[in-house]
Structure 1
Amino acid sequence: MENRSYWKKKILEVILTLLVVTLLSFLLMRLSPIDPATAYVTRNTPIVTAEQIQEARVKLGLDQPLLVQYGQWVFKACQLDFGISLASGRSVTTEIGKALPVSLAVVLLSGLIMGLGSIMVGSLHYFLWDHWLGLVLSLVAILGLSIPAFYLASLFLDVFAVRIGGLNVSGNTGIMRYFPAALCLSVSGIAFYSQMIAGNLKKEMNEDYAFYARCRGLKEGRILFFHALPHGIMRLLPSFMQTLGLCLAGAVIVERVFSLPGLGYLLIDSVMKWDSPVIHVVVLILALALIISNIFADMIKKGLKEDFSKVEVL
């Protein structure tokens, strides 16, 4: 019964959140001084007349009240019918289907780099905790948290593609196609979680189970990497899942910088062309990604209620 009520509450939260986000998307689009019908006619017709604009407004359903437009969009969206792109004339589902795999590849690769990088840098920082190099790592972490991903992306292009010229960042294939964008997205995460891991290791190595392990003759390295490190990582998993959801939103400008045809590139291109059907769906997907990551984070939190300090040392 408890699980059933939990999932009912979560489903209700998801529905309400998506309704609010998409409604705000509609409102913001209508508050803009740019008329979608005028933008649509201007792109498709060399000579723009008032009659053509009015015909386009009726064709696009923009002559109806906003709530009626929104209600019709929600009804069709529930049937996975998101309309036609005003810029390309193709189905919005087709446009999203091309862009979504690119964004997912960037986010997943970014999560992998972030995870491995955080563990390595965090472990190094633990060993250098009382050394002056530990202070240097802390300062570098603060710097990494302070620099936006899109600035890092621009700097990456300037240094490696323009000044050095030894790295191709635009014509790659396979995993290297997504690596530069994923690396820039992961820097702030590595800076944050490496510090958290170092602090968790410091705490875990002072727990009772670590003391008993030393009494049993286990070496410090074994206690650190086989017991303290897994415990320290597990405590950060809920927050890490939420960060992955934020990475999808954060990839918006980074994808544009590296000319990756993902959701971010599609969103910015649609905003410039005032392609409202595509904008609404991209906003919906980004909101859904954040919600799903939060749900996974909550599930992990529920599974981590057990006190790690009571786990038997193997």
Structure 2
Amino acid sequence: MGVFITKRLLAIIPIFLLAILLTFIMVKASPVDPAEAYFAATNTHPTAQALEDKRQEMGLNKPIFLQYVDTVKRVVQLDFGDSYMTKRPVTEEMRERLPITFQLGMLSILLTFLISVPLGFYTALHKNGIVDHGTRFLAFIGASMPAFLVGYLLVVFFSVKLDLLPIEGVGTWQHLVLPTFTLALPFIVQYTRMLRANMLEHLDEPAVLFARTRGLTERVIMVKYVLRMAIGPVITGLGINLGTLMTGMVIVEVVFSIPGFGRYFIDAIFSRDMPVIQGYVLLAAILYLLCNLVVDLIQMYIDPRIVKKGVR
């Protein structure tokens, strides 16, 4: 087990360096001059000398390789520079806004599991039943509707028509209901159908057939054997789809006026705030790598055979 975890941790390092390199190339390939963007963010009209001094201060006159090395050093220290708009360190801005985004993301993941796992289990037990056909219809609707449209429809129905939930902001649990459901809905329909299909596929596994010969009840077999084998791809898929969750978070925070890091990122794009944009992309990469590591550990606990495969 220790070898498996060590290999996973070591595999993160080159991927992380590649993420920094791609982000660095993205910034360099942008037609926006960071020095000009710095002054444009505050509606300042600098002189040519002021632009040259700012480029010198930012290290833009150094060779490209040295600029990349400096970027790696800063990122390792979680130093993404200062925001052009607020003149505050991006790391401080992250500490203030990330808890809101993190809370929203964790609630959406929790809601996805609380709904999709029981629903997928039930539809697998009652194949071609009313609930099964209903989830197919909802899966079609949920997969075809973008997050911003779902959010606006929920606002119109629950906030405007029924006046049950607040439209925007944070502060109480009522503020989290609509954005959490908006984020979770595409994952709920996706993983409900995935779990159902996986469970039906594993019904003919040798372990399941052997359990039936031992006289175990069908419900025990479905829970102890089939569900345990079928839920692995669901956990893996959720980890892989973290990028989709981050994208949806940006949209949801804008729709519901949530002062999280996603909305901060959108504001940074419009103001060409390069340190914030670079910090967001690198942070998303870090979260993606860490979540995939956690997914691997959970998979290792569910199916110990993964350890034997991973250390070969």
TM-score between the two structures when normalised by the length of structure 1: 0.82
Given the alignment, which residue of 243, 253, 256 partners 1:255?
253
Question: Which blocks of at least 5 consecutive residues in structure 2 are unaligned?
Answer: 306-312
Match of 2:277 in 1: 279
For residues 221 and 19 of structure 1, do their structure 2 counterparts lie closer, same or farther at Cα, with a shift above 3 Å needed?
closer
The CA deviation at 1:98 is 0.9
How many angstroms does 1:24 deviate by?
A: 1.8
Please give the alpha-carbon distance, in whole angstroms, between the structure 2 residues aligned to 1:12 and 1:234. Answer: 23
CA distances 1:220-265 after superposition (whole Å, capped 9, x unpaired): 5565557654554356333334345642343122222222222211
Residue 142 (structure 1) aligns with: 140
Partner of 2:290: 292
Contact 1:245-1:293 at 8 Å conserved across structures: no
- The Cα shift of 1:146 comes to 2.7
1:201 Cα deviation (Å)?
Answer: 4.0
Superposition deviation, residue 85 in structure 1? 1.6
- Map 1:93-108 onto structure 2 (within 5 A): 93-108=91-106
Structure 2 residue corresponding to 1:15, chosen from 13, 16, 24: 13
Match for residue 310 of structure 1? none
**Structure 2 residue aligned with 1:63, among 58, 61, 71?**
61
Question: Whole-Å Cα distance in 1 between the matches of residues 201 and 23 of structure 2?
Answer: 45
Flag the 1:11–1:124 CA change in 2: closer, same or farther, 3 A: closer
* Equivalent in the alignment of 1:131: 129
Distance 1:302 1:227, change over 3 A: closer
Partners of 1:123 and 1:76 in 2: CA distance: 47
Amino acid at match of 1:292: L
| 1:107–1:273 CA distance, 2 compared to 1 (3 A) | same
Tell whether the 8 Å contact from 1:246 to 1:290 is kept in structure 2 after alignment: no
Pair 177,20 (structure 1): closer, same or farther in 2 beyond 3 Å: same
Deviations 1:74-107 (A, max 9, x none): 1123233332222111111101101211111011
Offset of 1:173 from its aligned partner?
2.1
Alpha-carbon separation, structure 2, partners of 1:18 and 1:154 = 36
Aligned to 1:109: 107
Identity among equivalent positions (%) equals 29
Which one of the candidate residues 48, 51, 54 is aligned to 1:50? 48
Shift of 1:283: 1.1
| Cα deviation digits, residues 17-63 of structure 1 (max 9, x gap) | 22222222222223222222122223335444323322322222233
C-alpha contact 2:117 2:195 (8 A) present in aligned 1: yes
| Matched letter for residue 59 of structure 2 | G
Question: Which sits farther off after the overlay, 171-180 or 89-98?
Answer: 171-180
Question: Counterparts of 2:281 and 2:170 in 1: how far apart (Å)?
Answer: 29
* Aligned ranges 1:132-171 → 2 under 5 Å: 134-171=132-169
One-letter code aligned to 2:209? D
* TM-score w.r.t. length of structure 2: 0.83
Larger displacement relative to structure 2 (84-93 or 153-162) = 153-162
Query: What is the DSSP-based 3-state SS (H/G/I as helix, E as strand, rest coil) of the residue aligned with 1:274?
Result: coil
**Do residues 208 (structure 1) and 206 (structure 2) align?**
no
Q: How many residues align?
A: 302
Contact 1:29 1:276 in 2 (8 A): yes
What is the rounded CA distance, in whole Å, between the counterparts of 2:9 and 2:203 in structure 1?
A: 40
Q: Which residue of 1 aligns with 2:176?
A: 178
SS at structure 1 position matched to 2:128: coil
Rounded Cα–Cα distance in structure 2 between residues aligned with 1:17 and 1:249: 20
CA RMSD between the two structures? 2.9
Q: Tell me the distance in 1 between the aligned counterparts of 2:202 and 2:74.
A: 52
Distance across 1 between alignment mates of 2:20 and 2:230? 38
**2 CA distance for matches of 1:186 and 1:70?**
38
Alpha-carbon offset, residue 109 of structure 1: 0.1
Change (3 A) 1:32 1:79: closer
Q: Structure 1 CA distance, aligned partners of 2:107 and 2:171?
A: 14
**Comparing 139-148 and 157-166, the one that deviates more:** 157-166
Say if 2:247 is the partner of 1:240.
Answer: no
Alpha-carbon separation, structure 2, partners of 1:88 and 1:198: 49
Distance verdict in 2 for CA 1:236–1:39, change over 3 Å: closer
- Report the 3-state secondary structure (helix = DSSP H, G, I; strand = E; otherwise coil) of the residue aligned with 2:15: helix
Give the deviation of 1:119 after TM superposition: 2.2
Report deviation, 1:194. 0.9
8 A contact 1:122–1:194 mirrored in 2:
yes
Q: Unpaired runs of 5+ in structure 1?
A: 308-314
Superposed, 1:183-194 pairs within 5 Å as 183-194=181-192
Structure 1 residues 197, 275: CA separation in 2 closer, same or farther (over 3 Å shift)? same
